[in-house]
Amino acid sequence: MTKRQRAYRQSLIRSIHTSPLWHEVYGNDRELYETMLFNTFRVKSSKELSIEELKSLDDFMHRRTDRVAPGGVYASKQQISFIQTLWFEKATFKLGFNLLKFASRVLKRDVRDLTKITKKEASRLIAGIKALKPLQAVNNV
């Protein structure tokens, strides 16, 4: 991240935390704010958000939009397709159910549908699948 991007990111965070909505609703109830962040972006703090996510949250907090749009947050069709292809190449048990179980274990949350994972989670899942070792034959002689 460049200096300008870092400064812009910090200004967005500052703008969010000084917005009227933040003071009215979330200023007195930090837990409510964290819950909103987690339900929308799957993070606990605004420090973990990307610039695009921060812009979306800033628009919502300043009431320029009526809801927080997690646009670009969910995994793309290409990422999901890559995850499925990689899974069928690497996995011993190739059922889709096993992929969801593996995703739940790697992401440390219940995953019932790959279209509901974020781009960051998709990247973590891809890394996890790539790290799978092939099953070794056991020689019990």
Name the token pair of 17: 């935390």
Instruction: Look at residue 4 in the predicted model and tell me its pLDDT.
Output: 93
74 CA to centre of own chain: 7
What are the two backbone dihedrals, phi and then psi, of residue 112, each rounded to the nearest 5 degrees? Answer: -110, -15
Which residue blocks in 20-131 are alpha helix, DSSP H?
20-21, 30-41, 51-61, 77-90, 96-107, 119-130
For the segment 4-56, what is each residue's pLDDT rounded down to a tens digit? 999 999 999 999 989 888 888 887 888 888 888 888 887 888 888 888 888 88
Average pLDDT over residues 58-85: 80
Instruction: Look at residue 41 in the predicted model and tell me its pLDDT.
Output: 81
Domain ranges of the chain: 3-61, 77-130
Q: Is 30 exposed, middle or buried (0-12, 13-18, 19+ CB in 10 A)?
A: exposed
Residue 87 has pLDDT above 70, yes or no: yes
Contact 45, 37 (CB under 8 A): yes
Residue with tokens 């995994």, as numbered in its chain:
75
- Mean model confidence pLDDT for the chain: 85
83 CA to centre of own chain: 15
Instruction: Look at residue 72 in the predicted model and tell me its pLDDT.
Output: 52
CA–CA gap between residue 49 and residue 105 (Å, rounded): 23
